[in-house]
Amino acid sequence: MSQNDTSDLVQELAAQLGETEDQPIKQLTAIIKYCGSDFAQQVFQEALAIEAKGGLLVKSGARRRTLGGVFFYLARKQVSPRLRRKIFGGPRSDDKPKEPPPPPLPPFNWPERAAIIRLLIDESGEVSTVKITLIGRPGRIETRKDLVITVMTHVAGAPTLPKGVPKPPETPTLYTVYIAAKQWKRIEPALDDPDDQLIIEGTASYDPEIQGVAVFAQSVTSKGLEKKKREAQKAGASAGEAAPAPAAPAAPKSLPPLPPLPADESPTAEESALLPDAPPEVNQKLAELYAAASLYRQKIATLASKPAGQQFGLEMTRKLLQNTEAEIATIEQKYSG
C-alpha cells in the first residue's frame, strides 16, 4: 500500500472512529503499517459489532468505551507483544497502571526473635504429635524402680540448614532422658564398646524446673546393634537365595515329632511325665516346647513346599525351631540321669 493510500485509510478510519487527536491517529498509522489494511478493517468491523450489542465498558466499569476505544482495545489484544510495544508504547490511559513492586522484606536477626514471637503467641498453632531422636553417649546413670535416668547435652554447632533458616545458638541444650529399666538392661552391654552410641526415640516436653528438655524414651537401641541387625538380615537373605529349601526337613533323632497342643488346653499328665526326675512344672514346660517344635516343623514343611518367591518367614521359622530345640536339649541334659 502506497503512502497516500495509507494516509487516506487512516483519515477514513479516524473519521469513522471519531478520533481527532494526534496520538490515536499515530497509532492508527502504525497499525496499518505493521499489521496491514486488512487487519485494520477487520478490527473495525469487530468494533462496530460490539458497539451494536451495547458496547464495552472500561476496566473500572465507570463508563462505556468510545468506538475508537473499542477498536484500539481489540487491536491491542490481537497483536504480538513486540508489535504492541511498537504501536502503543506504554499502557493506555484508561488501563490500570502497574502497581509498584512491594518493598523488600527485612532480613531476620536472631536477637529480634523475642519481639516477633510475642506477636505470634496469641495466635499460635497446635501440635498433635512430638517425636524426638537423640543419638549419643549417656552420662551418669541413676536407677530407680523400673526406670533409668541420665542427662545428655548437645551443642548445635554448624549444621547444614536450608537457606534462610538461622544458625542455632551454640548454647548447650540439656536433655534429661527417662528410659524403662527393661529397655536399659537389654541395651546396656552394647555400651561396653566406647565407640557405640545410643539411638533414643521418644516424645519430649520442656521441664521448666530443670530448664531443659525432658525426653521420655519409647524405643532405645544403638548404632552397633542396628549394624549387627542389618548384617544378620543380609546374611539370612543371602543364605536363603543360595541354598535351596529342603522339601521337608527331618526332625532330630532326640526330638520325635509330637502332635501340636490345642491353643486352649494345657499339657495332659501323660505329656508332662517326660523326665521322671524333673519337677512337674519343668515337664509341663518341656511338653510345651515339644509342641512348639512340632508346630515349627509343620510350618517349615508348608513354607518349603511353596515356590522360592513365596517362602516368606521360612528362615525366621527355622531359627525359632533351632532355639526351641536348644532349650529342649538344655532341660533334658539337666534332668536326665
Q: Note whether 180 and 139 are same-domain residues.
A: yes
Question: Domain of 196: which CATH number?
Answer: 2.40.50.140
Grid cell locating 281: 512344672
Does a structural domain hold residue 120? Answer: no
Q: Note whether 248 and 217 are same-domain residues.
A: no
pTM: 0.45
Does a structural domain hold residue 236? Answer: no
Confidence category of residue 253, pLDDT binned at 50, 70, 90: very low
User: Is the pLDDT assigned to residue 264 strictly greater than 50?
Assistant: no
Q: Stretch 190-199: mean pLDDT, rounded?
A: 92
Torsion angle of alpha carbons 326, 330, 333, 335, nearest 10°? -140
Among 35, 68, 88, the domain-final residue is: 88
Number of CB atoms found within 10 A of residue 79's CB: 20
Q: Note whether 10 and 60 are same-domain residues.
A: yes
- Range of weakest confidence among 29-33, 70-74, 259-263, 277-281: 259-263
Residue 1 neighbours by CB under 8 Å, 6+ apart:
9, 32, 36, 37
Among 34, 65, 88, the domain-final residue is: 88
Cα–Cα separations (whole angstroms), residue 98 to 93, 101, 303 = 12, 9, 74
User: Is the pLDDT assigned to residue 248 strictly greater than 50?
Assistant: no
Q: Note whether 135 and 207 are same-domain residues.
A: yes
pLDDT of residue 256: 43
User: H or E element: which one contains 9?
Assistant: helix 3-17
Does a structural domain hold residue 164? Answer: no
Grid cell locating 322: 533351632
Does a structural domain hold residue 259? Answer: yes
Q: Note whether 199 and 250 are same-domain residues.
A: no
Q: Note whether 212 and 141 are same-domain residues.
A: yes
pLDDT of residue 258: 41
Q: Note whether 67 and 151 are same-domain residues.
A: no
* Residue-range definition of the domain harbouring residue 15: 3-88
pLDDT of residue 96: 55
Does a structural domain hold residue 200? Answer: yes
User: Is the pLDDT assigned to residue 276 strictly greater than 50?
Assistant: yes
Q: Note whether 213 and 248 are same-domain residues.
A: no
pLDDT of residue 337: 57
Distance CA 141, CA 195 (A): 18
User: Is the pLDDT assigned to residue 285 strictly greater than 70?
Assistant: yes
Domain count across the chain: 3
Q: Note whether 212 and 132 are same-domain residues.
A: yes
Does a structural domain hold residue 36? Answer: yes
Q: Note whether 195 and 260 are same-domain residues.
A: no
Question: Domain of 22: which CATH number?
Answer: 1.10.10.1440
Q: Note whether 148 and 65 are same-domain residues.
A: no
Distance CA 291, CA 309 (A): 28
211 conformational bin, left if phi > 0, alpha if psi -120 to 50, beta if neither? left
- Which tens digits make up the pLDDT trace of 126-178? 888 888 999 999 999 999 999 999 999 998 877 788 888 888 888 889 999 99
Among 182, 176, 177, residue whose Cα is nearest residue 146: 182
Q: Note whether 31 and 62 are same-domain residues.
A: yes
